[in-house]
Each structure stands twice: as structure tokens, then as C-alpha cells.
Amino acid sequence: MTLTSQQVRQLLDQAVASATQMELQVCVAVVDSGANPLGFLRMDEAFLGSSDVAQRKARTAVLFRCPTDAFGKVIEQEKLLGMSGSNQGLCAFGGGLPILHNGQLLGGIGISGATAEQDQQIAAAALATLFQRQ
Amino acid sequence: MTLTSQQVRQLLDQAVASATQMELQVCVAVVDSGANPLGFLRMDEAFLGSSDVAQRKARTAVLFRCPTDAFGKVIEQEKLLGMSGSNQGLCAFGGGLPILHNGQLLGGIGISGATAEQDQQIAAAALATLFQRQ
Amino acid sequence: MTLTSQQVRQLLDQAVASATQMELQVCVAVVDSGANPLGFLRMDEAFLGSSDVAQRKARTAVLFRCPTDAFGKVIEQEKLLGMSGSNQGLCAFGGGLPILHNGQLLGGIGISGATAEQDQQIAAAALATLFQRQ
Amino acid sequence: MTLTSQQVRQLLDQAVASATQMELQVCVAVVDSGANPLGFLRMDEAFLGSSDVAQRKARTAVLFRCPTDAFGKVIEQEKLLGMSGSNQGLCAFGGGLPILHNGQLLGGIGISGATAEQDQQIAAAALATLFQRQ
């Protein structure tokens, strides 16, 4: 089971809608279960540097099958030196979530542009609507 | 003048619509005038490897302000050895077009997944609708 | 609106003049609003390794539209693990400043070779003269 | 013996002056005898992608102590597959020249933005004035 292109667009649109409602400007990235790019959008006025960060968050959430903020806590507690530089660069703070359905990993979503908490909130809001809409 | 997020989504949607009509599966990438990512979509069943190629085409079209097929002809005629490896990897065959409006470079679009000719046709179809819709 | 080549040379010259007056040897980098290189100079006796750092500072200031020392404080306070490795390598300590004019981001300048405070002082001195000279 | 920062600025200024006279827009890069960056300028309206190419030309001319067009001919004749991708990317067509003085290698200059022949002509014009001015 994989995310369809239609679902990817729903995720992008929903994330943008949430960010707009919160008066924030973010980048949104969606990757598949192989951590390969499926979709991306940069909102008007989002930081230029948030593009790469959003993509790293989405990849990190898939590569280690967990939210990026939880991943960051493990890195810090376990003192995993060098971990965040692995896999061509991870992102170990909030804003990236794995996309799971019935226990199966379908991909990941990463948001960047606001605070880590806000980024994660936008990611969660996008995911919340994913399987309701169908 | 820059492409708005709304215009980027129009480009992505229009490219997907054109590819669908041609019964092709492609990746679509849009970058700004600084060759930085604005939007990306991978259609269902598109080659995994087309993601990077589409992004390279979009970047190449901006970096050298010309269609990627024309750029490829120059490289071949002038024997520009090493050129295609520059700028973190260019793409010197059809499918990438600069986005111009009133003579100003606004960004680039890159399509990958079908033949170079088909990719370019899809890119051109997407661009053709860009400034009509507004 | 973009920085002209003439303005870039003024920035390079002014930064070198300030560093000379302070008896310091630095590298100076200027990038455009897309974080792409516009100009660079390495002063006699500057550290070889400061070239890359100066360029990272200039890019970082544009990518996140803020001075690099302020960016560093956010990374530290928010524990943004992996952030400094994003975007092909950022620099999160003083010496990089965004170049703003009438609220518009025109580019960034990065200085490296002395202390972070001195580097930032040189960057600020160069910027201070930019729009007065015209 | 190394190039002084003053000489680097002369090279940049002279290359820009020559290009201006020829009504061309180019990027100019100067590196030292260790192939490390000394100076760089992008002229108004030069291709964004020429920045990297100019730097590659300057580095290539130093790394193999010869003009980049001569280097390209060797690569082609000897079928040196993979050579142009070595050293983080070389450039094997005209526009890069080693900077020699009394038989000693001081650095390299690379020009990109016009045809390979024009680029090389600009590089040669800049070098011609280097040791006359002192």
C-alpha cells in the first residue's frame, strides 16, 4: 500500500490550509515509505532555508519510523554523536511525522518554517484528515 | 516579481493533467528565479529516478535561462566537457523550460518520466496556461 | 530589486577596509536573495578555512532572513538538532547579516576570520555604507 | 610567492572591464596555488549557473597546471572517462588559465558566461595586465 498522488496533494493542501489559518508560512514535504520525494510546496514568504529542512523532517520520520521530536530526544539522551549527519542529513526536532495506516508505514510528512511545535501541529492536522476524506 | 504559491500549484496541476491525458506518468518540479525549490509532485507509477531528473531540469532551465534541450545542443556542439556535472548536476535534454513573463525570468519547470519530447510537451502545456488563468 | 555588481564591489571593498583598520584578516562573501554567490574576497593571511565559513554565513543570513548570531541563539534555545547541517551547511554564529532595503531582502553578507563579534562588526560596517553611497 | 589580495582585485576588475567592452556578462573566479578560492564576482545579468562553472575552471587550471581547453583536448584524446567528474567536478573547456610568473604557479583564473573562446579571451586579457601594473 502506497500513498496515491491524490493523497499527497490532499496532504499538501491541508498543511497549507492549516498554516494559513495560523498565519504562518511554511514548506511542506511528503515522502514515500522509501523516503523518496512525493510532493513539496513552499508557501509565499516561507524561509528559503525551510525547503531543505522540511524534506529532512519527512525523510527522518520514515528512516527511523517516528516523529522527529521523539527522534531528537533519543539522540540527545543516548548521545548519538554523528547520527543527525547520517543519511545525507537528518532533522531531529519537531515537525516531521511518519504516515501510518493500520500499523503500516506509508511515508512521512515534514513541515518547516515556524516553531518546531507549530510545525508539528500543522503536520498532525494534515495527517488527521488523510484517511477521513476517502 | 516571483511566482506565487498559487501559480506553482496551477503549474503542478496542469502538468499532471496533461500527462494524464497523454497516459504518461511523470514527476513535475518548479523552482524560483534563484533555482530554489517551490513545488514538486510525483505521479502514481512514475519512475522513482525521475524525481531528481525533474528537479535538475527545472534548475538547469533557470541557471542558464533556456530550455534544457537547447542547452544540451550547445553542450554537444561546443564539447563542453564537465558542464553537465556542474551546479550539483544539470540535465541537458528536453523537459525543462524557463518561466518567463514580460521578459523577466520567474523560475523554471522540469518534467521527467516519459521521452524528452513528451516531457517538454507537458512542460510547455503547463506554462501555456499560467498567465491566462489569472 | 537586486544588488548590482557595483554594490557588491562596494561591500567587498568596505569590508576589507574595515578589517584592515582593525588589523584583522578576513574572508568576505556576498550572496543574492536566492542565496547564490555574487562576490567573494580572501584577504592576505586570512585563514584558508574562512572562505567556506564566510560563504555559509552569507547564505544562512539569506536562507533564514536574520543575523547568524540570532539564528545560532534560536538553534541553541530550541535545541534544533540537525539544523546547522541542513542546506549544505549553515553557520550559526556571528558574522553573517541579511541585506535589507526598505524591508526587502536583497541578499546577505558573511565575514569570517576574526572573532564572531569582530566578524559581525565588519559586516555591519560594510552594510552601513551601502545605501549612503548611491 | 602568492597572489596578493590586491592582485586578485586587479584580476577581477580587469576581467569585468574586458567583458564589459565585449558587451558580455560573465562570472570571474580566482584561486590560489592550492586551488582554494581567493576572489569571485558575478556581473549583472550573468547566468546564475556560470558561478560554479567559473570556479571549476579556475580550480581545473591549477589542479592540472594548464589551460582548461588544452585539458579538455587531452581528456578527449586519451578517453579519460570519469576525469571531468573528479576533484569535486572539473571543467574541461576554454575559459580557465593557470596564473604563472617566472615559471611558478601562483593560481588560476576562470571565466564563464559567454562562449568558451570568449571566456578564455577575457581570462587572457586579465592575466596580461597582472604583472605590468606593478
pLDDT digits (tens, 9 = 90+) for D57-111: 999 999 999 999 999 999 999 999 999 999 999 999 999 999 999 999 999 999 9
Q: Is the Cβ pair A49, C64 closer than 8 Å? A: yes
Q: Does C103 touch chain A (CB under 8 A)?
A: no
Q: Is the Cβ pair B62, D48 closer than 8 Å? A: yes
pLDDT digits (tens, 9 = 90+) for C72-123: 999 999 999 999 999 999 999 999 999 999 999 999 999 999 999 999 999 9
pLDDT digits (tens, 9 = 90+) for A89-100: 999 999 999 999
User: What is the set of domains in chain A, with CATH numbers?
Assistant: 5-128 (3.30.450.150)
Q: Does B89 touch chain D (CB under 8 A)?
A: no
pLDDT at A134: 44
Q: Is the Cβ pair D116, B78 closer than 8 Å? A: yes
Q: Does B35 touch chain C (CB under 8 A)?
A: yes
Asked if residues B97 and B67 have their Cβ atoms less than 8 Å apart, the reply is yes
Average pLDDT over residues B116-127: 98
ipTM: 0.95
Residue B134 has pLDDT above 70, yes or no: no
Distance CA B103, CA D124 (A): 33
User: Band of the pLDDT at C4, cuts 50, 70, 90?
Assistant: very high
Which string of DSSP letters, residue by residue, matches A99-115? EEETTEEEEEEEEESS-
CA distance A4 to chain B (A): 6
Q: Does A93 touch chain C (CB under 8 A)?
A: yes
Q: Does B126 touch chain A (CB under 8 A)?
A: no
pLDDT digits (tens, 9 = 90+) for C28-66: 999 999 999 999 999 999 999 999 999 999 999 999 999
Average pLDDT, chain C: 96
CA distance C122 to chain D (A): 17
Report pTM. Answer: 0.96
- Contact partners, residue D92, CB within 8 Å, separation at least 6: B81, B82, D60, D68, D71, D72, D75, D83, D84
Asked if residues D40 and D28 have their Cβ atoms less than 8 Å apart, the reply is yes
pLDDT at D134: 44
Q: Residues in chain A with pLDDT < 50?
A: 133-134
Residue B73 has pLDDT above 80, yes or no: yes
* CA nearest to C37 within chain B: B34
User: Band of the pLDDT at D133, cuts 50, 70, 90?
Assistant: very low
Q: How many CA atoms lie within 13 A of D87 on its CB side?
A: 19
Average pLDDT over residues B48-72: 98
Chains sharing 3 or more CB pairs under 8 A with chain D: B, C
Q: Does B37 touch chain C (CB under 8 A)?
A: no
- Select from A76, A89, A116 the Cβ nearest to the Cβ of C86: A89
pLDDT at C133: 45
- Select from A5, A36, A43 the Cβ nearest to the Cβ of B41: A5
